[in-house]
Amino acid sequence: MRVGLVDIDGHNYPNLALMKLSAHFKATGHEVKLATPDNIKDFDCGFASKVFSFTLMPELPDWVEVGGSGINLKVALPDEVEHLCPDYDLYDLDYSLGFLTRGCIRNCGWCIVPEKEGPIQVHADITDFAKHRDVVLMDNNVLAHDHGIRQLEKIAGLGLRVDFNQGLDARLIDDATARLLAKVKWLTPIRLACDSQAMMPYIQKAVNLLRWYNATPRAYFVYVLVKDIPEAMERVRFLKGLNVDPFAQPYRDFRTNIEPTKEQKAFARWVNHKAIFKSVLWEDYRSQYIHMSKI
Ligand code: SF4
């Protein structure tokens, strides 16, 4: 049987669910390929996945099974497929991808994770899916579970290079955790999140501890959620003062899917374009945009 897999969000980010479906069908002797909405009719069966709510839904034959958090937060892969090692060849990846834990101990109002994944729980062992030296981990709060801590010790022992691309929870970085994180090899600078001003003291403490224990590279990367711009600016100035790298993300409510404003997008562009951020003040950048009628 020829199985077609449609990545509705495009191919900028590899789709983990499709890679697991690919592993499942290849293991049972089927031919599997990435397909498009245009050529899926040439396959015998098809699956499509949409992670983001803001990507457009294409027309697909009604026999194509569609899933993903951009469609329905509660639809999941069958357990036996969910825990397969992904087929990295589907996207020609030279790194591995997965989760050690799912869920989170917190309940931030802007976040999809509590509704989608629930409380934190064990998901997998790193050796279940790490087939390369470099591994991207998408855990939402790995430090909040003993299993996550044990897996970090294992990762350090195996000499893998990792990126926790959703960021680590600075509130959970104490002396022992910082020492452990310093033993890990990092694919990118350690990522933290400073989504409200209440996080600032925790970020300061975590950065001090990580630097004290020489967790390198030392210019950590910090996500900054942008709703109210003057409030976000306070956090960005604080982070610049700490000599870490802020990365602004304009707020998009996953329930209403309302687009961020042009000003929020311009602010994020200013923060994230490092050459501009270092040389141009926001006030000047903003007035240039107003002058060009872009806000
Ligand atoms: S800590 Fe992070 S993952 Fe957990 S609910 Fe808050 S934003 Fe979501």
Q: Read off the pLDDT of residues 74-92 as tens digits, 9 standing for 90 and up.
A: 778 999 999 999 999 999 9
Residue 279 lies in a domain: no
Residue 74 lies in a domain: yes
CA distance 223 to 245: 9
Residue 15 confidence class, pLDDT cut points 50, 70, 90 = very high
Residue 16 lies in a domain: yes
Residue 42 lies in a domain: yes
Name the token pair of 130.
């790490």
Q: Tell me, what's the pLDDT at 208?
A: 98
Residue 43 lies in a domain: yes
SS3 224: strand
Most confident of 8-17, 35-44, 249-258: 35-44
Domain that holds residue 53: 1-93
Residue 200 lies in a domain: no
Residue 214 lies in a domain: no
Q: What share of the chain is helix, strand, coil (3-state, %, to 5)?
A: 40, 20, 45
For residues 108-127, average pLDDT: 94
Q: How many domains does the chain have?
A: 1
Total residues found in the chain within this entry: 295
Q: Tell me, what's the pLDDT at 1?
A: 95
Mean pLDDT score of the chain: 94
Going across the sheet that includes 31-35, the strands are 31-35, 2-7, 45-49, 65-67
Pocket of ligand 1 contains residue 118 by CB under 6 Å: no
CA distance 254 to 240: 29
Of ligand 1's atoms, which has the minimum distance to the CA of residue 105? Answer: 4
Which positions ≥6 away from 294 have C-beta within 8 Å?
262, 266
Task: Provide the terminal-to-terminal Cα distance of the chain, rounded to the nearest Å.
Answer: 52
Pocket of ligand 1 contains residue 140 by CB under 6 Å: yes
DSSP for residue 242:
T
SS3 209: helix
CA of 135 to the centre of ligand 1 (A): 21
- Which of 48-62, 87-101, 192-206, 223-237 is the least confident region? 48-62
pTM for this predicted structure? 0.93
Residue 117 lies in a domain: no
CA of 2 to the centre of ligand 1 (A): 39
